[in-house]
Structure 1
């Protein structure tokens, strides 16, 4: 923790309602002490001169698998900490470590590693709880999820996980599977966010799921049905259900590849900044120049290739996660989807914080909030990342 006060001055400060020109922000300890439209007079403070750059709440990535050459499925403390530090360089100040479909034993071990890594995470993005992606998915919508481990919800299995670890804050599943409604009810009773994902569900099934706890759509459009036909009759799919249910939140991989510009615009137009979270869904190659990689555990995971700015299965039949970073998502929403800067930032900060139930402390630049702050220029190039009042990244001078 930074013992001296830290003042950021000459900044364009982004709030949900406006951008404060030539503003000033004061950090005391781990919290924001003041935000002002004028200079804050204080002695004995460290000073960052933003020189007209933007100061925004730190980015919150609620769906990330890896980065820097590591995957959370490596299930090592080294991997957890390296991923957190990698994404901090791109403005992420908090993230949800996300698993892939695998064995029960591997999952439980990963949760144990999370607990230890969380205690020792002092240089990277804060961990805000584990996101379990799978193994309860539709085999038809598996994408790059390993089919060997896909199965229906098993009460004995998921109750065991919840009883063993308080780290699980979100779980993604296909709501049309046998037992999926009871699964959703159980998780919500234990204050765990339930999200629909990798699903063949149609509108009627999503509606029932929504009424039983499934309030978020995982990577909207990816691995879920749109309009479909069954016995020649047309049905609205999960995509349309997410649009029609006003209360349902959505997350999108805004790398410009998983969703091209027209779909980014459509999601923003229908759901808006308050109901749409930007996610990287990044795998281990994010933040590297690798052309080959592995999705999941290095020994048992799926081999992938990196081309066209995205991870793919070697036969190119499916994407296998993104290599995006949070700064890229914000930049894309502005340049590809014509979204105002303040809304693009909200979708990467306050909205995910609200979805995860942590908006009382994160996602907003206001007195009393956690001092999670990112400073970037007009091109959304990250210059400084501050996490809980601690500067963890300063862009080296001279980098073009």
Structure 2
């Protein structure tokens, strides 16, 4: 039999619906080549012994700001590579670098850095394109976004930005702002995901947005309203709208802090694993010790403090970012939300791959797909991370 590059033995393969045992996974030229019975006489140039641990598709994180002490808004290649390597150690094999609301000069510098870092990124999670978070947000739901840069969608401005960078794959927007519906149509026509975020939209506005390109809700419950009153009358907010629209996808920060166990269970019960994408929304403190940190770029970011597994404003009046990692999300969904391992993994692999339109190459262990894989133990401690068939991290 033809000699293959890599085989993984003694692993329990995690699929979207079940766990397969007594199988050998074969990798050729960075792709999943075949799956055979464990007993095989075929040779391999390299053998990886999973030692009875789980072998799952690599985690896909659609919303990452930073990690390992770096933030994408630092605007340096070193920061990009550090973030990619940090999250790879926690099972993430691909991610979307995400911006914070900023000036255009800072944004354009990030675009240039992305192109350079994408080429040099050989030891970290693969970059899947840029996610712009802002500046078209509701002031009252801005969270830690810099209020100096908040504004309504302007066709001249966003056309310039879109023409400046072809790596933009997702843009988070408050859909109730003047011009936001037309903007959603533009994004849809360009094949860019329009996502609802930092918003006070009510049900009727969300439905209109959904019909005009907005297909995803950014970090459900964070930076948005639930049931609200206007002139004494109650209106359903974005949270209820996400539940009522069956085909609306949602992204959740499943760290057990931004969303406690009851809310995690509620979201899962209503939306199901097929419409939930787990995300870290991690800032630079991800993978770092607790203590002082900075949200955003080092030059003009917001001072924060990391404690209790989350970043907070110094006065502790609100959260100021997540420090989660992919393994923590899966662990939390299992331990706090009572979700099965295959379903928890599905929400950080197959579902985000579908949302991003890359399910033909990533998100499941299938023949012909990229050999992006992660091996972890019963406690979701990462043992090894493999990207395109290459082992880039071993515990």
Q: Would you say same fold, with TM above 0.5?
A: yes
Written as runs of structure 1 = structure 2, the 5 A alignment for 1:233-244 is 233-244=233-244
- Cα distance between partner residues in 2 of 1:220 and 1:260: 12
Q: Deviations over 1:358-397 (max 9, x none)?
A: 11100010110000000000000000000011100010xx
Q: Deviations over 1:290-313 (max 9, x none)?
A: 411111111111111111110011
Written as runs of structure 1 = structure 2, the 5 A alignment for 1:345-364 is 345-364=345-364
Q: Is the 8 A contact 1:9 1:39 kept in 2?
A: no
- Cα distance between partner residues in 2 of 1:41 and 1:135: 58
Number of the residue aligned with 1:84: 84
Where 2:78 maps in the other structure, the secondary structure is helix
Larger CA deviation: 17-26 vs 176-185: 17-26
Q: Deviations over 1:145-181 (max 9, x none)?
A: 1111111111111101111111100000000001100
**Following TM superposition, by how much is the alpha carbon of 1:36 offset from its aligned partner in structure 2, in angstroms?**
3.0
- Cα distance between partner residues in 1 of 2:218 and 2:358: 19
Where 1:281 maps in the other structure, the secondary structure is coil
**Following TM superposition, by how much is the alpha carbon of 1:116 offset from its aligned partner in structure 2, in angstroms?**
0.8
- Cα distance between partner residues in 2 of 1:138 and 1:313: 20
- Cα distance between partner residues in 1 of 2:177 and 2:42: 59
Number of the residue aligned with 1:100: 100
**Following TM superposition, by how much is the alpha carbon of 1:317 offset from its aligned partner in structure 2, in angstroms?**
2.4
- Cα distance between partner residues in 2 of 1:199 and 1:187: 18
Correspondence 1:368 to 2:368: yes
- Cα distance between partner residues in 1 of 2:317 and 2:153: 27
RMSD of Structure 2 on Structure 1 (CA): 1.0
Number of the residue aligned with 2:279: 279
- Cα distance between partner residues in 1 of 2:75 and 2:288: 20
Where 2:357 maps in the other structure, the secondary structure is coil
**Following TM superposition, by how much is the alpha carbon of 1:40 offset from its aligned partner in structure 2, in angstroms?**
4.2
- Cα distance between partner residues in 2 of 1:45 and 1:334: 36
Q: Is the 8 A contact 1:16 1:346 kept in 2?
A: yes
- Cα distance between partner residues in 2 of 1:198 and 1:307: 24
Number of the residue aligned with 1:389: 389
Number of the residue aligned with 1:289: 289
**Following TM superposition, by how much is the alpha carbon of 1:126 offset from its aligned partner in structure 2, in angstroms?**
0.2
Where 1:374 maps in the other structure, the secondary structure is strand
- Cα distance between partner residues in 1 of 2:330 and 2:55: 14
Q: Is the 8 A contact 1:21 1:37 kept in 2?
A: no
**Following TM superposition, by how much is the alpha carbon of 1:16 offset from its aligned partner in structure 2, in angstroms?**
1.4
Larger CA deviation: 247-256 vs 16-25: 16-25
Written as runs of structure 1 = structure 2, the 5 A alignment for 1:191-340 is 191-340=191-340
- Cα distance between partner residues in 1 of 2:290 and 2:337: 28
Q: Is the 8 A contact 2:8 2:26 kept in 1?
A: yes
Number of the residue aligned with 2:155: 155
- Cα distance between partner residues in 1 of 2:18 and 2:163: 44
Number of the residue aligned with 1:398: none
- Cα distance between partner residues in 1 of 2:355 and 2:53: 28
Q: Is the 8 A contact 1:22 1:52 kept in 2?
A: no
**Following TM superposition, by how much is the alpha carbon of 1:22 offset from its aligned partner in structure 2, in angstroms?**
2.1
**Following TM superposition, by how much is the alpha carbon of 1:274 offset from its aligned partner in structure 2, in angstroms?**
0.4
Question: Could you state the TM-score of these two structures normalised by the residue count of structure 2?
Answer: 0.98
Number of the residue aligned with 1:60: 60
- Cα distance between partner residues in 2 of 1:97 and 1:122: 16
- Cα distance between partner residues in 2 of 1:44 and 1:345: 28
Q: Is the 8 A contact 2:15 2:56 kept in 1?
A: yes
- Cα distance between partner residues in 2 of 1:269 and 1:206: 21
Q: Deviations over 1:258-294 (max 9, x none)?
A: 0000000000000000000000000001001041111
Please list every run of 5 or more consecutive structure 2 residues that lacks an aligned counterpart in the other structure: none
The 4+ residue runs of structure 1 with deviation greater than 4 A are none
The alignment covers a number of residue pairs equal to: 393
Correspondence 1:177 to 2:177: yes
**Following TM superposition, by how much is the alpha carbon of 1:73 offset from its aligned partner in structure 2, in angstroms?**
0.3
Where 1:45 maps in the other structure, the secondary structure is strand
